[in-house]
């Protein structure tokens, strides 16, 4: 399956919700510590071939840590930049007129972005300044700031069935569930003993959420009874960097880790680890599952490679 080489270290990869062959990659120079960043928009080949073509690329003055495709406009892309800014790019415009928006409100690195999949008019950004911000395209500033976490917020993700509910994962070892109409968080789950780096909602059960942590485990929680997790998945050798639920199957999850592997899990099975891919030669930090093509996976990492492959096949074979 196809591979794309990026000049900088990969940080995040996301499939477009509009085109089954399109994906965007966030990269940062020098492992995201110092230097520039670049956003690549890629097109998969129609016939099986090892070449991925680049549709567009945008340079930034600091590393790009995360991306989110707009759910309302097929050409819009939201980027979380390491200088704390949130930038919006429009693929239909020439590169000189991009980015079309740049919001600088976070005082530290912005680490994740997520577009509301239900109401499709707003997005979230999570930052190392301990806050999550809610943005809409019709406002020149953020609509609201959610600041309760006591350490960096690594990820904020909308509930796929409730337009007003989202969850945030933080280095203060808590997962918080929020309702944008409430002044404070509605739920605080002390989910791990170490930092939580990522979280994602189950697409088929709006009360089920997974967290990935520095303690090498992924835990699956029911927000109605969060004293104990539904399931604890261990198998990664180092901190788990990102976790995503499948858009197609209820129990299926994909995760990537600092142990350089991408793992597939089904938390409903006894042997939850259903697949492991070790194609990356450096930290694997970005992974996604296609909404439009069942079983299509993409991953990126610090080895500057983007792999796209069908579940069950070897990512390196083409």
Instruction: Using the minimum distance from each CB to another protein, give the nearer residue, 164 or 304.
Output: 164
Instruction: Using the minimum distance from each CB to another protein, give the nearer residue, 107 or 234.
Output: 107
Residue 38 bridge partners (DSSP): 27, 59
Residue 313 C-beta: closest distance to another protein, Å? 21
Please tell me the distance from the alpha carbon of residue 68 to that of residue 157, in angstroms, as a whole number.
11
Helix residue ranges per DSSP H, 73-229 = none
Please tell me the distance from the alpha carbon of residue 209 to that of residue 89, in angstroms, as a whole number.
30
Footprint on residues 250-279 left by another protein (CB under 8 A):
258
Instruction: Using the minimum distance from each CB to another protein, give the nearer residue, 206 or 304.
Output: 206
- Residue among 156, 157, 173, 308 that touches another protein (CB under 8 A): 173
Counting contacts by CB under 8 A, is residue 101 touching another protein?
Answer: no
Instruction: Using the minimum distance from each CB to another protein, give the nearer residue, 72 or 313.
Output: 72
- Residue among 194, 268, 281, 316 that touches another protein (CB under 8 A): 194
Contact present, 11 and 31 (Cβ < 8 Å): no
Taking phi over 0 as left and psi of -120 to 50 as alpha, with beta for the rest, 255 belongs to beta
Instruction: Using the minimum distance from each CB to another protein, give the nearer residue, 150 or 269.
Output: 150
How far from 31 is each of 7, 127, 212, 304, CA to CA, in Å?
A: 11, 18, 21, 10
Residue 89 C-beta: closest distance to another protein, Å? 16
Residue 51 C-beta: closest distance to another protein, Å? 26
CA 164 to chain centre: 19
Residue 29 C-beta: closest distance to another protein, Å? 12
Comparing CA positions, the residue from 54, 81, 57 lying closest to residue 67 is 81
Comparing CA positions, the residue from 231, 184, 212 lying closest to residue 112 is 212
Instruction: Using the minimum distance from each CB to another protein, give the nearer residue, 57 or 250.
Output: 250
Counting contacts by CB under 8 A, is residue 304 touching another protein?
Answer: no
- Residue among 61, 93, 143, 268 that touches another protein (CB under 8 A): 143
Q: Residue 84 CB: number of other CB atoms within 10 A?
A: 20
- Residue among 3, 18, 274, 295 that touches another protein (CB under 8 A): 18
């Amino acid at each position: 399956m196809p591979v794309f080489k990026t000049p900088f270290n990969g940080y995040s990869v996301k499939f477009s919700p509009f085109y089954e062959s399109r994906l965007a990659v966030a990269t940062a120079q020098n492992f995201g510590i110092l230097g520039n960043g670049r956003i690549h928009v890629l097109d998969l080949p129609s016939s099986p071939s090892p070449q991925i073509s680049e549709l567009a690329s945008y340079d930034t003055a600091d590393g790009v840590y995360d991306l989110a495709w707009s759910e309302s406009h097929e050409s819009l892309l939201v980027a979380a930049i390491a200088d704390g800014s949130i930038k919006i790019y429009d693929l239909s415009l020439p590169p000189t007129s991009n980015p079309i928006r740049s919001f600088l409100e976070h005082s530290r690195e912005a680490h994740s972005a997520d577009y509301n999949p239900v109401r499709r008019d707003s997005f979230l950004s999570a930052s190392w300044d301990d806050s999550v911000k809610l943005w809409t395209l019709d406002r020149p500033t953020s609509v609201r700031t959610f600041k309760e976490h006591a350490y960096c917020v690594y990820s904020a993700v909308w509930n796929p069935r409730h337009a007003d509910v989202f969850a945030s994962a933080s280095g203060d070892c808590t997962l918080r569930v929020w309702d944008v109409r409430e002044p404070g968080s509605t739920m605080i789950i002390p989910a791990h003993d170490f930092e939580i780096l990522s979280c994602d909602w189950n697409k088929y059960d709006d009360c089920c959420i997974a967290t990935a942590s520095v303690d090498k485990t992924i835990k699956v929680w029911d927000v109605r009874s969060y004293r104990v997790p539904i399931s604890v998945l261990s198998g990664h050798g180092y901190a788990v960097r990102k976790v995503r639920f499948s858009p197609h199957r209820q129990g299926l999850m994909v995760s990537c880790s600092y142990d350089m592997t991408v793992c597939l899990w089904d938390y409903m099975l006894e042997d939850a680890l259903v697949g492991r891919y070790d194609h990356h030669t450096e930290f694997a930090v970005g992974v996604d599952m296609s909404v439009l093509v069942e079983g299509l996976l993409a991953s990126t990492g610090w080895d500057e490679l983007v792999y796209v492959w069908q579940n069950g096949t070897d990512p390196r074979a083409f």
